Amino acid sequence: MDFFCAKKYPSLTNLIDVCRAMQIFRQMCSMYHYTIILSNVLNILGAPRLLQAIAADGVIPFLNIFATTTKKGEPLRALLLTAAISQMGVLLASLDYIAPIITM
């Protein structure tokens, strides 16, 4: 089973090779990768609600535009900002460029 990211990120190739070498644990390795992906998706889904709550409380005044929600209670503006930040990270595709932005 080839993983799409192994070609783009050679450092993952070693992990995948180790998993393949241990045939007994092959399914566990696949489940491990899917668990990592799922946890990242859940973080991306929780971030807009956190941003909306911070904006609604007025902790950071210039974030007030993200305090609004739709009729169903979804923080649409915060979701769009989170999606844009996530897409920028994907498009940059290098942690060396993203790390200084996150740690500011």
What pLDDT does residue 1 have? 46
Query: What's the average model confidence in pLDDT over 1-26?
Result: 57
Domain-wise residue ranges, the chain? 4-102
pLDDT band at residue 36 using 50, 70 and 90 as cut-offs: confident
Helical residues (DSSP H) of the chain, grouped into ranges: 4-8, 11-21, 26-57, 76-92, 95-102
Question: Mean pLDDT, the chain, as a whole number?
Answer: 75
Regarding predicted confidence, which is higher, 57 or 96?
Answer: 57
- For 56-79, give the DSSP string: HHTSSGGGGGGS---TTS--HHHH
Residues 43-65: tens digit of each pLDDT: 777 888 888 999 999 888 888 99
pLDDT for 24 equals 54
Q: Is the pTM of this model over 0.85?
A: no
Helix (H/G/I), strand (E/B), else coil: 93:
coil
